[in-house]
Amino acid sequence: MEFVVITMAKIAVMLGVLLTVVAYTVWLERKVCAWMQDRVGPNRVGPFGLLQPLADGLKMMLKEDVLPRHITDKALYTLGPLMAMVPALVTAGAIPWGSQLPLFGRQIQCVVANLNAAVLVVFATSSFAVYGIVLAGWASNSKYPFLGGVRSSAQMISYEVCLALSVVPVFMQIGSLSLCHMVEYQTHHTWMIFMPWQWPSFLIFIISAFAETNRTPFDLPEAEQELVAGYNTEYSSMKFSMFFLGEYAAMFVMSAMMVTLFFGGWSLPFAPFNRPATTLWIGLAHVAIFLAKILVFLFLYIWIRWTIPRVRYDQLMALGWKIFIPLTIVNIVFVGIVLALWGGR
Amino acid sequence: MTFLDTLFWFLSIAMLLSGVGVIASRSPVTSAMFLVMLFVFMAGLFALLEAFFLAAIQVLVYAGAVMVLFLFVIMLLDVRASQQRRVKLLAVFGGVAVAGALAWELILILQQPVRPLAGSDTNLHGGLEAVVKPLFANYMLPFEVTALLLLVAMVGVVLLSKRDME
Amino acid sequence: MLVQRPKLTFWERLYLPQVLQGLWQTLSHIPRKKFTRQYPEEKPPLYGKYRGAPELVRDPDGRVKCVACQLCEFVCPPKAIRVVPGFRKEGASDASVEKEPSDFIINMNRCIFCGFCEEVCPEEAIFLLRDFSVSGYSREEMQFHKDKLLELGGVREDKIQKWKNK
Ligand code: SF4
Ligand code: SF4
């Protein structure tokens, strides 16, 4: 019973934090994009436009939910945005947000589900996001969303393979699929990113993560110039904002994965931050460190989006199948040899 | 009935219902989505047995990859034709016969006492090692042969599909 | 003509240097001076011949210049103008002009600020002046009537007043 209550509370807090961060990522994106284009960005609602996400959310909720007449399968049409958003939120539950919080005389782990196959669960759940896009594309019953849906299913399947294969070397070194062990290992040794033989994995992972979240330069499913808005063309109001939330939540989760796998999760490589927290404040500081690291990656996402033009579709597929997948396999063998020779563990 | 029992019944009934949904729904896309649901519930059953690795792989491979490919193919086909197709009586009888045979077989098998697989260690709690150890230690040859077979099939398909273009 | 594609070196084909260059470019813009104009508080500078919304003008003696010839009504591409012709007041100083609009309506929802009305007007009575943001809370509010148009247009300082001595 106690377990259920604590887990429920964790889920509530996690979702609250996640959605807030996601909302403010949208704000950050608009701000950063504006700055990069020598503009000011949202600045009307609240100081520095900080209340903009609230205004946006309110606007989205109050908008009319238009159901185009040519949509025959309403159930699938509604399922689309749900499937785009929910997986990303679920995935966040398998990621350790911090070490632990000593609260009410208990040690509360800062992870909703401490699974021993957490990485697989993350990949498995995030692979569901593709259904959202495919269903939206199909159920919209018109050609641009459909093309977007087809494109995205091909893209996401290809890059899922790269994504999963690229982190295999990391787990070969740790010898566990648990994300909590992952962070623990990095607190004892050093962050993965400081081990040169893991660099190829990181590079491939980060690029595949961009493709997996459909962000520029790989935002082919919603290429505005060719496909209007791709899969979300026929959506409005809350359904549209669910796609939006889903995209940003997926960005968050992917950033969290990068932080956990390569940048030591909630830890910093010096005194009170490199071991599980003993006081509440250090516990909270760990969460803050984790979020700060994620913020860096979110900024990277945004930065790249407003810099690099979209690649062509055949380039994208060629990059995935002809370069990345062979490269990841070679990388696995290479890291295996390195670990066997120098005994990485 | 404990909490886990309730969960078991819920998952199995939901799984069977989505199985019915797969064959009962007229639109292939809806069928495919029911199949995805079925895989997810099945993964839930695996998780109940503490086979978390298997559960994750189930979702990752079947629901995450195979079904997306299925959907992909369905979307490229003309689904309207199959939506209008009439159900043939013979097909129904055939289906019922096959299902009955399968059920009978299952009952026969399940009446046998449960024997652990040779080389598997029941103490491993269905984690990663429980699946991987026997696979790479005791059943290495069959495993590799299967992999080779799949590779051959793949190469064959590529060859067949490319021949048309020449 | 065959365009010879330049042969790219290995570095160039990697795209990475270019990508980094681009990233630096965007990053270096973040702290730069912003060009945003805070619109409702900061009005944009309007230059001499700015052409905003069409408005009616009076001559230096305060008389309505429009003679209700309805040319602008005919020429207006989106049919935004509606002129209701009427007569000047008997005995007034401008009675010799005979006609004047008893009402003159421009539907600002439809007007495209093309300036045809200004060009066609034989009396130089309508001009595109400096109001560029015409807004209202209802469609009704966006129908600008004669009084409003005259008020907005004001007096036009013209040396030639062809009706003055007729
Ligand atoms: S500016 Fe053009 S559109 Fe507007 S009232 Fe004059 S003629 Fe009509
Ligand atoms: S504004 Fe000019 S063109 Fe239009 S009715 Fe009056 S005199 Fe004629």
Query: What confidence tens digit (pLDDT) does each residue in C19-69 have?
Result: 888 889 888 888 888 888 888 888 888 888 888 889 999 888 888 888 899
pLDDT of residue C71: 93
- C155: β partners: C58
Q: Is the pLDDT of residue B43 over 70?
A: yes
Q: How far apart are CA A77 and CA B28, in angstroms?
A: 15
pLDDT band (50, 70, 90) for residue C166: low
Ligand 1 center–CA A25 separation, angstroms: 45
User: Does C80 contact ligand 2 (Cβ within 6 A)?
Assistant: no
* Contact with chain A for residue C13, Cβ under 8 A: no
Please count the residue pairs, one from chain A and one from chain C, whose beta carbons lie less than 8 angstroms apart. Answer: 36
Q: Is it the case that chain B and chain A have 3 or more CB pairs lying under 8 Å apart?
A: yes
Interface of A with C in 63-92 (CB under 8 A): none
Residues C34 and A44 sit within 8 Å (Cβ to Cβ): no
What values do phi and psi take at C7, rounded to 5?
-75, 130
Best residue of C27, C30, C35, C41 to probe chain A, by most A CBs closer than 10 Å: C30
Residue A167 CA to residue A202 CA, distance in Å, equals: 8
Query: So what's the pLDDT on residue B116?
Result: 63
pLDDT digits (tens, 9 = 90+) for A182-203: 888 888 877 878 888 788 888 8
Could you tell me which residues come within 8 angstroms of residue B125 by beta carbon, excluding any fewer than 6 positions away? B50
Mean pLDDT of B9-19: 89
Chain C: give the shortest CA distance to residue A288, in Å.
25
Radius of gyration of chain B (CA): 20
Determine contact, residues C70/C110, Cβ cutoff 8 Å: no
- CA dist B18 and B43 (Å) reads 14
pLDDT in the model for residue C106? 92
State the complex-level ipTM: 0.73
Q: Which residue has the tokens 């997810």?
A: B40
Tokens 């652990």 locate to B116
Indicate whether B166 pLDDT > 60.
Answer: no
What global pTM score does this model have?
Answer: 0.78
**What's the Cα-to-Cα distance from A251 to each of A57, A88, A224, B140, rounded to whole Å?**
19, 9, 20, 39
User: Is the bond preceding residue C85 a cis peptide, omega within 30 degrees?
Assistant: no
The alpha-carbon gap from B127 to the nearest alpha carbon of chain A, in Å, equals 7
Residue A199 Cα to chain centre, angstroms: 20
Q: Using CA atoms, how far apart are residues A195 and A345, in angstroms rounded to an integer?
A: 12
Please report the pLDDT score of residue B78 as a whole number.
65
Question: Considering only CB atoms, which chain B residues are within 8 Å of A130?
Answer: 64, 68
Are the beta carbons of A181 and A174 closer than 8 angstroms? Answer: yes
Q: How far is the CA of C113 from the centre of ligand 1 (A)?
A: 5
CB contact under 8 Å between C19 and A32, yes or no, is no
Chain A / chain B CB contacts < 8 angstroms:
80
Please tell me the distance between residue C56's alpha carbon and the centre of ligand 2 in angstroms: 9
- Give CA separation, C13 vs A215, A324, B66, in Å: 22, 16, 34
Whether the CB of A79 is below 8 Å from some CB of chain B: the reply is yes
Average per-residue pLDDT in chain B? 80
Distance, C-alpha A96 to centroid of its chain: 14
**pLDDT tens digits, one per residue of B85-129:** 677 788 888 888 999 999 999 998 888 777 666 555 555 555 667
| Angle of CA points C3, C7, C12, to nearest 5° | 125
pLDDT at B151: 93
Nearest to A261 by CA among A184, A338, A207, A317: A184
- Below-50 pLDDT ranges, chain A: 345
Pocket test for ligand 1, best of C50, C70, C83, C113 (most atoms within 8 A of CB): C113
Please give the Cα distance from B12 to A114 (Å, whole number): 25
The shortest C-alpha distance from A59 to chain B (Å) reads: 32
Rg (CA), chain A: 21
State which ligand 2 atom lies nearest to the alpha carbon of C71. Answer: 3
Grade residue C116 by pLDDT with cuts at 50, 70 and 90. Answer: very high
Q: What is the separation, in whole angstroms, between the first and last Cα of chain C?
A: 71
Per-residue model confidence (pLDDT) at position B133? 76
Q: What is the number of the ligand 1 atom nearest to the C-alpha of C113?
A: 1
Count of all residues that appear for chain A in the document:
345
Q: Which of A235, A212, A243 is nearest to A133 (CA)?
A: A243
Rounded CA-CA distance C135/C43 in Å is: 16
pLDDT in tens, A30-46: 888 888 888 888 888 87
The number of angstroms, rounded, from the C-alpha of C107 to the middle of its chain's C-alpha atoms is 13
Residue-level pLDDT at B79: 64
Report the nearest atom of ligand 2 relative to the CA of C70: 5
Q: What is the pLDDT of residue A214?
A: 79
The residue whose CA is least distant from atom 6 of ligand 1 is C117
Q: Which subunits count as partners of chain C given 3+ CB pairs below 8 Å?
A: A
